[in-house]
Amino acid sequence: HDSHNGHATMNEQELRDAFALFDKKGDSKINVKDLGTVLRALGQNPTEESVKKMQQELDPSGGEKRITFEEFKPILNSVNGVKPSGSEADFVEGLRVFDKDGNGSINAAELRHVLSSLGEKLSDDEVDSLFANIDVDAAGSVNYEEFVRMVMSQ
């Protein structure tokens, strides 16, 4: 299965396996404190500062919060391409986690929350200006693939 296109992308299963190594309790979660270690184990190289920021967001009380692989994946994706070196597909993938119905759209409020909390934090104004250009349907949902395309083309 070595049809890898030259760069070290791990598939979902490899990521899960690596993630599982840090699951000390067997509950399929890792401690937020181990976030930096896990990211580095997966070949990422986040700065200490960005790791602290992510830990702060995930566990504001600085306690023993544990996160699932599902919660970890968007973080991995956001670190993966610090600043849009991430491809359109990566972003779409990162947002797909929030696509509860698997129909290609996510709740606009949720998207807004994701944008202001993940990776490169956007200010409210920045988020507003992004939202000014997208169609929110009657149900308050946004087609995130279109959204990502629009953002990437700016």
pTM of the model: 0.47
Residue 91 has pLDDT above 70, yes or no: yes
pLDDT tens-digit series, residues 102-126: 888 888 888 887 777 665 566 778 7
Residue 4 has pLDDT above 60, yes or no: no
Compute how many other C-beta atoms are within 10 angstroms of the C-beta atom of residue 29: 20
Concatenated DSSP letters for 14-45? HHHHHHHHT-SSSSSEEEGGGHHHHHHHTT--
Query: What one-character DSSP code corresponds to residue 120?
Result: S
**Using CA atoms, how far apart are residues 109 and 123, in angstroms rounded to an integer?**
15
Q: Which range, 9-18, 45-54, 60-69, 120-129, has the best average confidence (pLDDT)?
A: 60-69
Beta-carbon contacts of residue 6 (< 8 Å; ≥ 6 apart)? none
Compute how many other C-beta atoms are within 10 angstroms of the C-beta atom of residue 99: 17
Per-residue confidence band for 5, with pLDDT thresholds at 50, 70 and 90? very low
Residue 72 has pLDDT above 70, yes or no: yes
Per-residue confidence band for 67, with pLDDT thresholds at 50, 70 and 90? very high
